[in-house]
Amino acid sequence: MDSKNTALKQGATTEDIQFHYDLSRSFYQHWLDRTMTYSSAMYEGDDDLETAQKRKLDHHIAQAEIGPGSRVLDIGCGWGSLMFRCAEQIPSSHCVGLTLSADQKESIDGARSDRIEVLLKGWQALEEVHSFDAAVSVGAMEHFVGPGWSADDKIAVYRDFFKKVSCVLKPGGCLSLQTIVFDRMEESEFPPFITEKIFPGSMLPRQSEILAASDRVLSLVNVRNDALDYARTCREWVQRIEAAKPELIAMVGADKTNEYVQYLRMSAAAFERQQFGLLRLKFRSYASA
């Protein structure tokens, strides 16, 4: 696939993202923790969900080497939990979040923080050059490509992403990236229920595709696979949905509520069976061209 055609392909569209994330903020508030973090937590011992989510946020803050005064780019910022954590923990830091979810932008804007701004745009639309000290992307890469794409097409889009991050980071700046990946599972085995009912227009990467796409664009510092952390997170979310089921059904209906229970149970099982992995990676931009 040549670079001229890469721009013509797109994974999840704005409409696809809003189909999922703009379903109902109140719906998500009932089963996510108070930080409204909708990605795998990082557990130690008998952590509760919120403690484990804050540990995950702190992991990415440290891995991206975010310090006092850092200007931070959060690609796929969700409801802003990492940016709010930076504002709370890192003096004089300033975060810019990207999302395609109108509800997420509205929620973050409503907090009225002068150290956080959120843009309703994707990473492709960024035009800044070497203006960020650090970048974080948690749970966004899963939406960059669509079902049925060839490995070459997927790698081309991921490579464009890494090139964009390299462009916006200052020399030596770090990217902390978290994404679900295929592990033992082949894409042909991926349940169509998830792309039809839950995440339209989206498909997971493979570790090999990420490594091929980032090669000679960003320097890989480390990587870890915490699949069991995501299995535990999904099972906790299911328990919280079940506990609030009457209220959730009143908000979005029984069919949609049960679809979420099904997708989260399927996901937990896939992580436990090593069909899915959960990668946490650290990249560093090159100090000079």
The CATH number linked to 108 is: 3.40.50.150
- Residue 88 belongs to some domain of the structure: yes
Percent of the chain with pLDDT strictly greater than 70 = 97
Average pLDDT of the chain is 95
Q: What is the C-alpha to C-alpha distance for residues 3 and 142, in angstroms, rounded to an integer?
A: 21
Residue 191, both tokens: 């349940």
CB 150 within 8 A of CB 206: no
Q: In 3-state terms, the chain is what percent helix, strand and coil (to 5)?
A: 45, 20, 35
Structure tokens at 164: 């964009």
Percent of the chain having pLDDT more than 90?
95
Asked if pLDDT for residue 7 goes beyond 50, the answer is no
- The answer to whether residue 117 scores a pLDDT higher than 70 is yes
Residue 289 lies in a domain: no
Q: Is residue 194 part of a domain?
A: yes
Q: Is residue 89 part of a domain?
A: yes
Average pLDDT of the residues in 166-189: 97
Helix (H, G, I), strand (E, B) or coil at 2: coil
Q: What is the pLDDT of residues 120-164, one digit of tens each?
A: 999 999 998 999 999 999 999 999 999 999 999 999 999 999 999
Contacts 24+ apart (CB under 8 A), 14-17: 14/100, 16/143, 16/199, 16/200, 16/201, 16/202, 17/99, 17/100, 17/101, 17/143
Distance CA(230)–CA(249), nearest Å, equals: 25
In a domain, 86, yes or no: yes
**Nearest residue to 104 (alpha-carbon basis) of 201, 11, 178, 23:** 23
Decide: helix, strand or coil at residue 253: coil
- Residue 289: band (very low, low, confident or very high) from pLDDT cuts 50, 70, 90: low
pLDDT tens per residue across span 57-99: 999 999 999 999 999 999 999 999 999 999 999 999 999 999 9
Sole residue written with tokens 């509760």: 48
- Model confidence band, residue 10 (pLDDT cutoffs 50, 70, 90): confident
Give the pLDDT of residue 9.
73
Q: Is a pLDDT exceeding 90 seen at residue 6? A: no
* pLDDT (tens digit per residue) in 17-52: 999 999 999 999 999 999 999 999 999 999 999 999
Mean pLDDT of 221-245: 98
> Residues 100-107: what's their mean pLDDT?
96
What average pLDDT does the segment 168-182 reach? 98
Per the domain annotation, does 193 fall within a domain?
Answer: yes
DSSP bridge partners of 179: 279
In a domain, 77, yes or no: yes
Name the residue type at position 151: A
| Residue-number span of the structural domain to which 237 is assigned | 3-284
Number of structural domains the chain divides into: 1
